[in-house]
Structure 1
Amino acid sequence: MGKFVTLGEIMLRLSPIGYERFVQANKFNVFFAGGEANVAASLANYGLDSHYVTKLPAHEIGQAAINEMRRFGIKTDYIVRGGDRIGVYFCEKGASQRPSKVIYDRANSAIAEAKREDFDWKKVFEGAEWFHFTGITPALSDNCVEITLDALKAAKEAGATISVDLNYRKKLWSTEKAGKVMAELVKHCDVVIANEEDAEKVFGIKAGKTDVTEGKLCDEGYKAVAKELYDRFGLKYVAITLRESYSASDNGWSGMLYDGKNYYKSKKYDVHIVDRVGGGDSFCGGLIYGLSSGMDNQSALEFAAAASCLKHTIEGDFNMMSVDEVMNLMKGDASGRVQR
């Protein structure tokens, strides 16, 4: 198999210990994380040739981020060094009826201020099989819009399959700008992945009979969303993650896939959450693995849903599950019994 390439911003994540609130914490757990880096970690865990592209400062914190990615098998050959800072985000884990909270400190990060000439995309995509990005990266700056578009054109020229997770972030840009920019970028994509809100926030495509704040989702409504995305952009696949939020601690989790002819729905998992951040990214990684490894559409979707279910049980943003562990859950072993 060829190279699997992702582009994005890896950040320093600081989280209070356990379920402490920001205002009571006097120490923090440290992780490195970011949407596309999370996907790269999943792909590396599954044994794929996973490459991550970004720009990081040349100081020790930038090096620590690179070391963390290398630790999990992600290749960092195409990371550019420079700029003054790495983005930071603070994550307070919710519990029961108290929601999780994220505070960003990412302005003027190295990747946000990167220039188009920093990256040799022809070299990056030589022998590439797949390219993945999210809507977070072009939201960082106008420069990042141009960088992402350059990467897309090079990936297409190299013959790579291209996937995007819409991943709308209201703290980064408006729905109007997101819709305009993403419409241009998605034209180059083969696979679009969204959650229960992204299609509405980015493209104004709303699922009927659905209220995410009440945890009410309607399969028929999301079938219509998938079809409209598919038809509008001439895609090969549309995938939608479906989260039923009973509380911050307990969610229902499943996924849907549409290939232009058939709709596929995964098994639903009732998950007691350890850490939900990165859940959608782990779904993306699982779907990319399933589709690229020759699984049929239903199996690829089931692998993605099972992988993401397991991620919700892991501290930090990276999904540290092997193919065998995901396959065991996918095949029905959900007992959680001790393995000896």
Structure 2
Amino acid sequence: MARVITMGEIMLRLSTPGNEKFIQADEFDVNYGGGEANVAVSLANYGHDAAFVTKVPKNPIGECAVAALRKYGVDTKHIAKGGERLGIYFLETGASMRASNVVYDRANSSIATAVAEDFDFDAIFEGADWFHFTGITPAVSDAAAVLTEAACKAAKAHGVTVSVDLNFRKKLWSSEKAQKVMSNLMQYVDVCIGNEEDAEKVLGFKPGNTDVTSGNLELQGYVDIFQQMVEKFNFKYVISSLRESYSASHNGWSACIYSRDDKEFYHSRKYDISPIVDRVGGGDSFAGGVICGFLDGKNWKDALEYGVAASALKHTIPGDFNLVNRADVDGLVGGDGSGRVQR
């Protein structure tokens, strides 16, 4: 199996039980997660050699975060210890027309103050096949943005394929700063993943008249901006998830991809997901599935279908991590979405 490195922040997730609002909650459910950590767990569950790189505080909460990764077979030996605290995010899960809500408490977290000298990138990328990061990590702090570029440079020096999930977070930074920082990082990227908001807010490309809140997808707009993105950044593949948000509990879910070498656009099968159990981590599970498809040697269209199916399944699982295995994903890709009891 392939060796995959992901780098970012793992956080303590405190979510209200069921669909309670924050003001109702007398307790919180505890999970751990974060964009790149979620991708590492997905790939480990599929049998790949997945390692996660981060920095966590040297205290019991930091140890719990590391243990959550180890439980699912993620390599944690390159995780640095130090700093003041683990980042926290609070989640209120919406329902029907009430949207979910996230509140961050991650200022001065360990990864936000980490520097390249905390990590031996030559050792980390020795024998690696793939490196994945997201737009969340450089948004955490200026230091984390510098760290991300150092990791990208090291990955390319070792001949590693680099992917990014653009992941714009308006509660962390402005679109103007995102475009400045992320446009620079795109020089290292081979596979660019995102959605319509990410493409616009992070890189300045808007796909036609698409309006996900109305369920209106104009696919030709994606073809146009994908071609422009390839021309500007020379990505080998540009990929977008396509979420049609009918309500917090009901989404349409598909994806599209453009191949630079084949000069061809492809739109995947669409899944109707209702009711949604937990959509947090949906994009990460998509990225993990697509990366797995590529690492398995699938063609780029089949890799996309694998990612869409994996992510559709993640929407049925509480928590950040996608805990499905290959058999689960293969079954859905093969057309078995009946949900019948397996005896």
Please name the residue that 2:340 is paired with: 337
Partner letter of residue 164 of structure 1?
V
| TM-score in terms of structure 2 length | 0.98
Cα distance in 2 for partners of 1:185, 1:95 equals: 36
What CA deviation, in whole Å up to 9, does each residue of 1:51-99 have, x standing for no partner? 0000000100000000000001111010000011000000111100000
**Matching of residue 268 in structure 1 with residue 270 in structure 2:** yes
Aligned residue pairs, count: 340
Please name the residue that 1:321 is paired with: 324
Secondary structure at 2:112's aligned position in 1?
A: coil
203-212 vs 4-13, which moves further: 203-212
Secondary structure at 1:252's aligned position in 2?
A: strand
Secondary structure at 1:193's aligned position in 2?
A: strand
Residues 139 and 172 in structure 1, CA contact (< 8 A), matched pair in contact too: yes
Residues 114 and 143 in structure 2, CA contact (< 8 A), matched pair in contact too: yes
Partner letter of residue 57 of structure 1?
P
2:285 pairs with one of 282, 292, 316: 282
**Matching of residue 303 in structure 1 with residue 306 in structure 2:** yes
Q: In the TM superposition, what is the alpha-carbon distance from 1:2 to its structure 2 partner?
A: 3.9
Cα distance in 2 for partners of 1:215, 1:99 equals: 16
Q: Report matched runs for 1:232-251 at 5 Å.
A: 232-251=232-251
Cα distance in 2 for partners of 1:143, 1:330 equals: 41
Structure 1: runs of 5 or more not aligned: none
Secondary structure at 1:282's aligned position in 2?
A: helix
Q: Report matched runs for 1:1-16 at 5 Å.
A: 1-16=1-16
Please name the residue that 2:83 is paired with: 83
Cα distance in 2 for partners of 1:115, 1:259 equals: 35
Residues 2 and 127 in structure 1, CA contact (< 8 A), matched pair in contact too: no
Q: In the TM superposition, what is the alpha-carbon distance from 1:215 to its structure 2 partner?
A: 2.6
Residues 10 and 37 in structure 2, CA contact (< 8 A), matched pair in contact too: yes
Cα distance in 1 for partners of 2:310, 2:277 equals: 15
Residues 264 and 297 in structure 1, CA contact (< 8 A), matched pair in contact too: no
Q: In the TM superposition, what is the alpha-carbon distance from 1:22 to its structure 2 partner?
A: 0.4
Secondary structure at 1:285's aligned position in 2?
A: helix
Residues 116 and 143 in structure 1, CA contact (< 8 A), matched pair in contact too: no
Q: In the TM superposition, what is the alpha-carbon distance from 1:226 to its structure 2 partner?
A: 1.4
Partner letter of residue 324 of structure 2?
M
Cα distance in 2 for partners of 1:15, 1:171 equals: 18
Please name the residue that 2:34 is paired with: 34
Secondary structure at 2:331's aligned position in 1?
A: helix
Secondary structure at 1:128's aligned position in 2?
A: coil
Residues 226 and 240 in structure 1, CA contact (< 8 A), matched pair in contact too: no
Please name the residue that 1:191 is paired with: 191
Please name the residue that 2:104 is paired with: 104
Residues 213 and 244 in structure 2, CA contact (< 8 A), matched pair in contact too: no
Partner letter of residue 335 of structure 1?
S
Partner letter of residue 244 of structure 1?
E
Q: In the TM superposition, what is the alpha-carbon distance from 1:216 to its structure 2 partner?
A: 1.6
Q: In the TM superposition, what is the alpha-carbon distance from 1:110 to its structure 2 partner?
A: 0.3
Please name the residue that 2:180 is paired with: 180
Residues 238 and 259 in structure 1, CA contact (< 8 A), matched pair in contact too: yes
Q: In the TM superposition, what is the alpha-carbon distance from 1:264 to its structure 2 partner?
A: 1.3
Residues 2 and 295 in structure 2, CA contact (< 8 A), matched pair in contact too: no
Secondary structure at 1:238's aligned position in 2?
A: strand
Structure 2: runs of 5 or more not aligned: none
2:294 pairs with one of 273, 283, 291: 291
Please name the residue that 2:168 is paired with: 168
| TM-score in terms of structure 1 length | 0.99
Secondary structure at 1:62's aligned position in 2?
A: helix
225-234 vs 244-253, which moves further: 225-234
Please name the residue that 2:126 is paired with: 126
Partner letter of residue 266 of structure 1?
S
Secondary structure at 1:274's aligned position in 2?
A: coil
Partner letter of residue 271 of structure 1?
I
Q: In the TM superposition, what is the alpha-carbon distance from 1:188 to its structure 2 partner?
A: 0.5
Residues 258 and 265 in structure 2, CA contact (< 8 A), matched pair in contact too: yes
Q: Which runs of 4+ in 1 moved over 6 A?
A: none
Secondary structure at 1:51's aligned position in 2?
A: strand
Secondary structure at 1:127's aligned position in 2?
A: coil
31-40 vs 109-118, which moves further: 109-118
Q: Report matched runs for 1:220-239 at 5 Å.
A: 220-239=220-239
Cα distance in 2 for partners of 1:151, 1:202 equals: 20
Partner letter of residue 316 of structure 1?
G
Partner letter of residue 277 of structure 1?
V
Partner letter of residue 308 of structure 1?
S
Residues 6 and 51 in structure 2, CA contact (< 8 A), matched pair in contact too: yes
Cα distance in 2 for partners of 1:216, 1:28 equals: 36
Residues 14 and 30 in structure 2, CA contact (< 8 A), matched pair in contact too: yes
Q: In the TM superposition, what is the alpha-carbon distance from 1:214 to its structure 2 partner?
A: 2.1
Cα distance in 1 for partners of 2:215, 2:171 equals: 23
